Structure 1
Amino acid sequence: MNQSKIIIFKVPEFPHLSETFIVAQIITGIKLGYEVKILIRKLLDNDTAVNSILIKEYGLLDKIIIEDYNIPKNRLVRLIKWIFLLILNFRDLNYIIKYYKEFSKFSLTCLYQWLFFQRFKNATLFHVQYGTNSKPLDILKKTGFKPAVIVTFHGHDAFFPINGYIPNNGYYDNLFKYADLITANTPYLADKIIELGCPRELLSIIPVGVDTDFFYANKESKIIHSTLKLITVGRLDKVKGHDYCILAVADLINKGVDVTLTIIGEGKERKSLEDLIAQYQLEDKVFLKGKKTQLEVRQELWEHDLYLLTAVALGDGRRETQGLATLEAQACGLPVVAFDSGGIKYTIEDEKTGLICKEYDVQEVSDKIKLLYSNPILKIEMSMNTKDFIKQNFSQNYIDSIWEKEYLQLLKA
């Protein structure tokens, strides 16, 4: 349908094992019939991700272009080549001068950068992943670059100082003025972006979708057991609040509930979580299982009863913006018990597919889990509700249909 139309997906690094949502977004473009290229700064040597079924099936590695400006390391050679390139592109001198004026300091690099992006001047649009990855497209658009630019924010890119060091000194001013579309995955993240100065009319809320052909309820693997098996999936980071999960389990055991907790993921908080498990003598109740493939995660979800997410705010106020794992769990038939933190509540239908608790309130989490433990019929009803909720609101097919409309609207503009 759109074979003559080109989408350039601009991604910082590829392929990340944890960034399945970016792979899904790229595949959306391919499925909609666009010619797709993937522009990256760094190619990761990650065998597990590189060899994933989807990356191989869609030939994504063959679509990669490295963002290399081909700048000579030798200063003299760099200058001579710069002069030669300037003469060679004399007809575009007006655009080059406009581009240079946007920088406070003169640098030879700017010309190399400007010329690199000119190879994409006939592309239909750039779809940038992460606001911090939008440069230099914001300045290029300001100085006459023709392709449309969509920027999808994911969370950390909306909280300053970004990555602990990038200040908000007008960092997104050009982006919010010259981009064609900004997207956020939940109303929570959208509000944060608007607070940074993004015009409301420029912003669309488009959730990250779930592949419901892969994540689904498998009744054959579901074993009825007396122990209530809780599970949570995510990197071991303070924002995920795994310590509150562990405290909830300790409280449930004190209340006489036969419960276990499986934590899937790896990260810098492992040691502190191990210490907490030991402190409450939960070694035979709480299991840190490390990283797992998507196939392994799905199998684990099938073998558990409830999904638990006790995400909390970080010191800078940043919270979980959507929570893809809660969607995958519900797609597999698991009700969710979660803190009302950030955008998580938008991924759950409270009292129908799960239960939302006040942030930091371990007692409420414990009480609501016990309620489902004591009322298996309610738990089964919630489990039955999850399938339709996910398909109607978050299935990848549904999200693809939203993106199809957004892309077509930009093509017509």
Structure 2
Amino acid sequence: MFKLWQFPHLSETFITAQIITAIKCGFEVSVLVKEALDFEESKQKSLIEEYEITDKIIPEDYKVPKNKLFRLLKIAFLLPNIFRNFIFFRRFLKEQKKLSLSLFYQFHFYTKFKDFDIIHVQYGTNRSPIDNFKKIGFFNSKLIVSFHGHDAFFPINGFIENNGYYDDLFLYGDLIIANTPYLARKIEELGCPAQKLKTIPVGVDASFFNGEKKKNQIEESFQLISVGRLDKVKGHKYAIKVVKSLKAKGFPVHLSIIGEGEERLALKNLIKEFKLESEVSLIGKKSQAEVKDYLLSGNLYILAAVPVENNRRETQGLATLEAQACGLPVVVFDSGGVKYTLKDGETGFIVPEFDTDKMVEKIEMLFSNRKKLETMSANAKAFVTQNFAQAIIDQRWCNLYSELVK
């Protein structure tokens, strides 16, 4: 069973890929979801339909009556199940900081999942109450929790403090997954035992992110692409500064920024301030097929990711892999786990954080050296295919799941 907060989230295509991986591995899959989003609006609709994921959804709804009297009366119908598991229910209550009638409903709801072989939680913040049930011995299921980035940096979401937040998870969970060695180190610093940590990157559908690159006249405009939500951690403003410097030097360049987010207005204003309306386009959110078309039409991918509040950094950078799969060399800041998604000097270049001058230098070199650009393009495709193709990552997960249920 997978435990999620929201599904299907636009920016979390890797979650859908993970569910499909388990299905392909031959497991009977259920998906416990706190909030189901609009499937019709999802950019992943075709995949969700193909693998019948909607039929596997279980809403995390405890069905607690809003009326206090009805809430109390309905508990009578829950008591037989609670009495059958009374020892564990008593332990469960002892783990709670605050007692309420809703705990009867939560415990009753979760009893149906006690015999699952594996519970795979996406994001550390979704670990509750599974970690409690493991602690009290009610669940014998193997508990895997995949961290994805912001869930390893306190205060999480700006308000969750590290007051023993993950203590039970690290003690009673079976396996903690990070997508890069960088994130693994951050999780270990939070108190996770090294023997419970495993690094498995998010994979790329190399059969989809593939195809013949579209020819464009580099002399007319050197096409730079950057994909990612408009968040400060992605460093889009530094990418815009790079374009400003290139334009000042007379290089014909255009940057397409694909994604949406809270930084849109600030970036739009910066583009206007720098008079780059013709050189930088904020494309907005796009489907995977549309992103692929942009990548196949581009010359170079850039990611100017930087540290933000609480020293949070990009933990992997899936789009850098998708770009390379499409034959785009990449130039990135050495931030967080991004460096693990390319081979410096072979599939692209890694430059110091905030060093826009160095990023400009690498872009200029690739603009001038077409042979190097072509070689890096071929290297990039081979690198992703050999190391990050979804089929390779799927096999790692199949082996891991099978090992856990032996």
The TM-score normalised by the length of structure 2 is: 0.97
Cα contact 2:131–2:169 (8 A) shared by 1 = yes
Moved runs in structure 1, 4+ residues, more than 6 A? none
- The residue number in structure 2 matching 1:160 is 154
- The residue number in structure 1 matching 2:186 is 192
1:146 equivalent among 134, 140, 145: 140
Q: Measure the CA separation in 2 of the matches of 1:342 and 1:13.
A: 26
- The residue number in structure 2 matching 1:107 is 100
1:133 aligns with 2:126: yes
1:122 aligns with 2:105: no
Q: Measure the CA separation in 2 of the matches of 1:398 and 1:242.
A: 31
1:390 equivalent among 379, 384, 387: 384
Q: Measure the CA separation in 1 of the matches of 2:108 and 2:331.
A: 51
Stretch of structure 1 that moved more, 74-83 or 180-189 = 74-83
2:66 equivalent among 73, 76, 82: 73
Q: How does 1:402-413 map to 2 (within 5 A)?
A: 402-412=396-406
Q: Measure the CA separation in 1 of the matches of 2:85 and 2:77.
A: 14
Q: Measure the CA separation in 2 of the matches of 1:70 and 1:331.
A: 46
1:251 aligns with 2:245: yes
1:22 aligns with 2:18: no
Q: Superposition RMSD on alpha carbons, in Å?
A: 1.3
Stretch of structure 1 that moved more, 225-234 or 76-85 = 76-85
Counterpart AA for 1:107: S
Cα contact 1:236–1:242 (8 A) shared by 2 = yes
- 1:184 deviation in Å? 0.4
- The residue number in structure 2 matching 1:4 is none
- The residue number in structure 2 matching 1:40 is 33
Q: Measure the CA separation in 2 of the matches of 1:153 and 1:229.
A: 34
- The residue number in structure 2 matching 1:228 is 222
- The residue number in structure 2 matching 1:281 is 275
Cα contact 2:39–2:45 (8 A) shared by 1 = no
1:229 aligned counterpart, secondary structure: strand
Residue 278 to residue 190, structure 1, CA distance change in 2 (3 Å): same
Q: Measure the CA separation in 1 of the matches of 2:339 and 2:242.
A: 19
Cα contact 1:238–1:314 (8 A) shared by 2 = yes
Q: Measure the CA separation in 2 of the matches of 1:323 and 1:240.
A: 9
2:305 equivalent among 311, 314, 318: 311
Cα contact 1:357–1:365 (8 A) shared by 2 = yes
- 1:195 deviation in Å? 0.6
- 1:116 deviation in Å? 0.9
Cα contact 1:138–1:175 (8 A) shared by 2 = yes
1:119 aligned counterpart, secondary structure: helix
Cα contact 1:330–1:336 (8 A) shared by 2 = yes
1:13 aligns with 2:6: yes
1:89 aligned counterpart, secondary structure: helix
1:365 aligns with 2:386: no
Q: Measure the CA separation in 1 of the matches of 2:205 and 2:284.
A: 23
Counterpart AA for 1:45: D
Counterpart AA for 1:407: Y
Q: How does 1:91-106 map to 2 (within 5 A)?
A: 91-106=84-99
- How far does the alpha carbon of each residue in 1:262-295 deviate from its partner, in whole angstroms, 9 at most, with x for none? 1111111111111111122111111111111111
Q: Measure the CA separation in 2 of the matches of 1:97 and 1:303.
A: 61
1:316 aligned counterpart, secondary structure: helix
- 1:91 deviation in Å? 2.8
- How far does the alpha carbon of each residue in 1:191-211 deviate from its partner, in whole angstroms, 9 at most, with x for none? 110011000000100000000
- 1:87 deviation in Å? 4.2
Cα contact 2:300–2:329 (8 A) shared by 1 = yes
2:113 aligned counterpart, secondary structure: coil
Q: Measure the CA separation in 2 of the matches of 1:51 and 1:307.
A: 24
- The residue number in structure 2 matching 1:49 is 42
Q: Measure the CA separation in 2 of the matches of 1:205 and 1:223.
A: 39
Identity %: 55
- 1:256 deviation in Å? 2.2
Q: How many residues align?
A: 404
- 1:81 deviation in Å? 2.6
2:41 aligned counterpart, secondary structure: helix
Q: Measure the CA separation in 2 of the matches of 1:297 and 1:87.
A: 53
Cα contact 2:43–2:287 (8 A) shared by 1 = no
Residue 92 to residue 328, structure 1, CA distance change in 2 (3 Å): same
2:376 aligned counterpart, secondary structure: helix
- 1:50 deviation in Å? 6.7
- The residue number in structure 2 matching 1:346 is 340
The TM-score normalised by the length of structure 1 is: 0.95
Q: Measure the CA separation in 1 of the matches of 2:315 and 2:42.
A: 24
Q: Measure the CA separation in 2 of the matches of 1:51 and 1:90.
A: 43
